[in-house]
Structure 1
Amino acid sequence: MPGTVFGNEDFDADAAAQTLREAMCGFGTDEEPIIKVLDSHNNAQRQEIALAFKQSYGKDLIDELKSELRSDFENTVIALMTPPRLYDARELNRAISGAGTDETALIEIMCTRTNEELEEIKALYQQEFEASLEEHLDCDTSGYFGRLMISLVTGGRDEDEDVNEYEAKADASELYEAGANAWGTEESKFNQILCRRHFNHLKRVFEIYAENNDQNVRDAISSEFSGNIKSGYLALVDIAENKPLFFAKRLDYAMRGLGTSDDDLIRLIVSRSEVDMQEICTEYYFMQPEDDRRILREAVESECGGDYKNMLLTILNPID
């Protein structure tokens, strides 16, 4: 199943730009047309709308939106207006800048993007921040987790979708020998296999591991590792087994407990809106206890408010 946001079949960049300008003219801002325009076009079309806006009115659309909007609604609008890989680059920079590191954001982006996407992210990161992503990751992360990030940023995952049964059995055996059956865990072997093999291959490796041993790979990782490296490895297991479920769990975590992690919620919904959000919504529903299930829209509605809530709900249930 695809995402929830699609290209507008009746696309007219000039008309959309005019609607946005009129929404921001005069006293106050009319947020409803902004929501309708942005959520009824895909990202590529939004870039054309931004160009048409600049050509027609001599102003930068994103600058205009920033001057008119506030808080989480503004952040969601800017996320929607930013090309996907540039948005990833900026989110990675946000995660490693300032006091502390947002390891969950690093794990989410670095573990789920393709080789091609990572190459684009690295180029845009260099252009935007005048430093390489690898250098910043190396400076801001350390230990086993730092090595995981460096392994991932190289973009060296095998792209052959076919699974070789012999090689899968060999990798399952090597993971066991490097972890549960070793005098101390060989982290480099976990890195080599989890960061370089195709996810189809990894899924079969994990099945074989569970068939041949008294625990599964998830249990082995949980017993052998701790902290951020454990979270990173478990994320890779989740992604190999069911990527939409991985994102559904991330959305659930962003809205659990006291307060909502709005940065995570915005990034997750916007970045998957054109990719696999329909599948994520399905997984979100079925991952919950049978007697207490709610759809993702209901969760967002209970956690968010105002135009911010309306924007997210429209992304999840787009305008025809």
Structure 2
Amino acid sequence: MSYGNYQSRTPTVVPANPFDPRSDAEILRKAMKGFGTDEKAIINVLAYRSNEQRLRIAYEFKTLYGKNLIKDLKSETSGNFENVLVALMTPLPEYYAKELHNAIAGLGTDENVLIEVLCTKSNDEIMVIRQAYQALYSKDLEEDLIGDTSGTFKRLMVSLCNACRDESMMVNPETARADAQALLRAGELRLGTDESTFNMVLCQRNWAQLQLIFQEYHNLTGHDIEQAIKNEFSGSAEDGLLAIIRSIKNQAAFFAKCLNKSMKGLGTNDNDLIRLVVTRSEIDMVEIKREYQAKYGESLADAIKGDCSGHYKKCLLHLIGEP
């Protein structure tokens, strides 16, 4: 997945090379067999393999021992350490589908999860997640979103779920200027807000073109488009539109902010923390760590050390490349 070369992306978890899934399966079996569990051995295997490699290890594990690796891990571990291992062992589209389903199902909606996933993914990724969602729940993700959200936020989620963004990365300064003017007329220059214009531009234009549109908007008004969103929208709609803008401007900084939010305040939102670390470690965790340090004056590793404990903490630190 690439949004053009203006955002470098360096993972902290890369495929192991050489890679021997059978040997890894044997190590994991030994770590869980008999009295006690060798958590360190489990971390040393799973935190240093790509998602695709972990799935091959699970296949070998079943072939060798006739046992389900996830079930064994669940029976040998507990709490957040168990949760992070299960996340590591789940195919990525299925993992995202489960996270979206959990965000929608039950009392209330966790809009943050919907925003984090749908506002930052490519068309292909969204389509694959939709297919996984359908396969897991025999339901359409779009229908569930419609049933669980409302108003401007609902329309934003449906537009993103349709996965029809232009991904050409071609830019046109004239249309960027026209779009910036249209956004200005739809918001600051009128009484009330024409939400559909914001929805159309932010959900359809390619990422490089949107960078240009934001620049043109600043040229026209003398202030950032984020300011306009804050003035014109509120609640989840505001959060969703800001997420699109911020992830386009600097995706690593956007995810650094999500990580900080998962750990600050009373208690930790471990579910968010696990999802962010597990999924971004194979994409751009190096850049996210840099942005985290710059924005919050402490390293992501120190934040995790202060907020988590035990094998859970060790596993997260290995995944972000700070063992």
TM-score range, shorter chain: over 0.9
**What is the CA–CA distance in structure 2 between the aligned matches of 1:41 and 1:236, rounded to whole Å?**
30
> Counterpart of 1:294?
298
Shift of 1:27: 1.6
Shift of 1:183: 2.4
Give the one of 258, 261, 264 matched to 2:269: 261
> Counterpart of 1:314?
318
Query: C-alpha deviations, 1:185-210, integer Å up to 9, x for none?
Result: 00011000001111111111111101
Is the 2:100–2:113 Cα contact (8 Å) retained in structure 1? yes
1:148-167 equivalences under 5 Å are 148-167=156-175
Q: Secondary structure at the match of 1:215?
A: coil
TM-score normalised by L of structure 1: 0.97
Verify: 1:25 aligned to 2:33, yes or no.
yes
Give the one of 207, 214, 223 matched to 1:215: 223
> Counterpart of 2:132?
124
Is the 2:301–2:322 Cα contact (8 Å) retained in structure 1? no
Is the 1:194–1:236 Cα contact (8 Å) retained in structure 2? yes
Paired positions, count: 315
Q: Secondary structure at the match of 1:188?
A: helix
**What is the CA–CA distance in structure 1 between the aligned matches of 2:278 and 2:217, rounded to whole Å?**
35
> Counterpart of 1:79?
87
Q: Which amino acid aligns with 1:306?
A: G
- Structure 1 runs (4+) deviating above 6 angstroms are none
**What is the CA–CA distance in structure 2 between the aligned matches of 1:80 and 1:46, rounded to whole Å?**
8
Query: C-alpha deviations, 1:271-317, integer Å up to 9, x for none?
Result: 101100001001111112xxxx2111011011000010000001011
**What is the CA–CA distance in structure 2 between the aligned matches of 1:5 and 1:264, rounded to whole Å?**
19
Q: Which runs of 5+ in 1 are unaligned?
A: none
**What is the CA–CA distance in structure 2 between the aligned matches of 1:24 and 1:202, rounded to whole Å?**
50
Is the 1:199–1:240 Cα contact (8 Å) retained in structure 2? yes
Give the one of 91, 98, 101 matched to 1:90: 98
> Counterpart of 2:6?
none
Q: Which amino acid aligns with 2:318?
A: T
Query: C-alpha deviations, 1:209-248, integer Å up to 9, x for none?
Result: 0111143211111011110000001111101110110000
Is the 2:289–2:299 Cα contact (8 Å) retained in structure 1? yes
1:49-198 equivalences under 5 Å are 49-198=57-206
RMSD value over aligned CA atoms? Answer: 1.0
**What is the CA–CA distance in structure 1 between the aligned matches of 2:285 and 2:32, rounded to whole Å?**
30
Q: Secondary structure at the match of 1:267?
A: helix
Shift of 1:318: 6.3
Query: C-alpha deviations, 1:69-90, integer Å up to 9, x for none?
Result: 1111111001111111111111
> Counterpart of 1:238?
246
Query: C-alpha deviations, 1:156-183, integer Å up to 9, x for none?
Result: 1110112111111111111001000122
Q: Which amino acid aligns with 1:21?
A: R
> Counterpart of 1:10?
18
Give the one of 43, 56, 69 matched to 1:48: 56
Q: Secondary structure at the match of 1:6?
A: coil
Shift of 1:100: 1.1
Shift of 1:99: 1.0
Percent of matched pairs sharing the same residue = 46
